[in-house]
Amino acid sequence: MKWFKHMSDMSISDRGKYVLSKHGSNGYARWCLILEMIAQAMDRNKPNVCYREMPINEWCRSLKINKRRLRDFLTDVGEKLDLCWEITENMLKVEAPEMLKLVDDSTKKAQVAKRHSVIVTERDEDKDEDKNIDKDKNEDECIGFDVESSFEEIWGKYLNKDGRKKAMECFISSVKNEDDFRQINLALENYNKSDVVKKGFIKSGGNWFENWKDYLDYKNVSEIQKEKDKKQIEEQRNMLNEAQKEGVPMPENVRQQVRETLEKLKKKSK
């Protein structure tokens, strides 16, 4: 792979700046690794074809990322970085047309001489890949949970950016897998819709992330009051119904008071 070298200005190019600003150092590293993997495939036997195709689980394992995040990453950066990709059943093909410009003639000639031995090696590697795929029953367990990028994703949705360090420590200690990540997303969604946030009272990041589980079943004060009002309406109705069933005389002023109470409660509960 002598013909393929990381350009020293990649990180300050428009593409590099975009990846770093949108996906951080992890995203930048994934981009570089994708190009390396395509270059390796070109070195093996197809220098004139600038793509790499293999099971999506193998892509995920190599890039230390799960399927959902890999799709999101490629969807976002594909056009910006001139990466073409498609998924067919369980296979993912990633193409980088600009890579053809990097292949020089001398390297191509050297590749022809090496082609036979490389093909044999590739077949052995394919056998190992197949064995790994058979063992990969649970993708997320095999790949692992990407804590850093998961924190960045949830932190981007939090409205108060104070206390980032403590927030990250609390996140790492309480969010261990994709299920926990879905839970904290739900908690944050509830919190962002809450009355306190609408009024502008937003906890610091460290405070909220330390107690995020409190918001899994969070209810606003207004919602709690509505539930109380509904319960009171039912009690008033039941009282009237019981009185009618038992033939208990009820003074007109009491009846009127009950009716007025019911009307008020109905208006409040709307």
Q: How many CB atoms within 10 Å of residue 260?
A: 10
Distance CA 241, CA 234 (A): 10
Task: Considering only residues 35 and 6, tell me which one the structure prediction assigns the higher pLDDT.
Answer: 35
- pLDDT tens per residue across span 82-139: 788 888 888 998 888 877 776 654 455 555 555 545 444 555 555 555 555 454 444 4
Share of the chain above pLDDT 90, in %: 11
- pLDDT tens per residue across span 148-171: 888 988 998 898 889 999 999 999
- pLDDT tens per residue across span 190-214: 888 888 788 888 889 899 999 999 8
**How confident is residue 183, by pLDDT bands cut at 50, 70 and 90?**
very high
Does the model's pTM come out above 0.85? Answer: no
pLDDT of residue 224: 47
Q: Which of 50-54, 61-65, 179-183, 260-264 has the highest mean pLDDT?
A: 179-183
pLDDT of residue 89: 80
Bridge partners for 64 per DSSP? none
- pLDDT tens per residue across span 219-238: 654 554 556 666 666 776 77
Sheet containing strand 91-95, edge to edge, reads: 51-55, 91-95, 84-88
Task: Extract the tokens encoding 11.
Answer: 């990180």
Residue 263 has pLDDT above 70, yes or no: yes
pLDDT of residue 139: 47
Distance CA 23, CA 112 (A): 38
Q: Where are the domains of the chain?
A: 10-143, 148-215, 221-269
